[in-house]
Amino acid sequence: MSQTLRAYIAAHGLDEVWVLNELQNHGIISDNAVGVADVGNGGAAIAWLDKRDQRALRAREDARRRREREREASVTC
């Protein structure tokens, strides 16, 4: 099932770490999962992600990436 979750993450252009954090923060997966391969019930994870507004998920991920790029740019200056 982790391959399906991995494919879902890739298909929606999401960051794996961010998705795992969101799933853990909402109690969907165990805090012990450190990678997609550690997710025991990928179906439940995908179902929860599907219920979320994908535009909101992408917007949050884009904002996180933008902050990260800005932080890296400020360090290199």
30-51: per-residue pLDDT in tens? 999 999 999 988 999 999 998 8
Considering only residues 31 and 52, tell me which one the structure prediction assigns the higher pLDDT.
31
Residue 77 has a pLDDT of: 61
User: What whole-number distance in Å separates Cα of residue 35 and Cα of residue 51?
Assistant: 22
Residue found by looking up tokens 């998705």 in the block = 19
Average pLDDT, the chain: 87
Q: What is the pTM of this model?
A: 0.69
Please tell me what DSSP assigns to residue 40: S
pLDDT at 24 over 90: yes
17 in Cβ contact with 58 (< 8 Å)? no
* CA-closest candidate to residue 56, choices 22, 31, 28, 29: 22
Residue 45 has a pLDDT of: 94
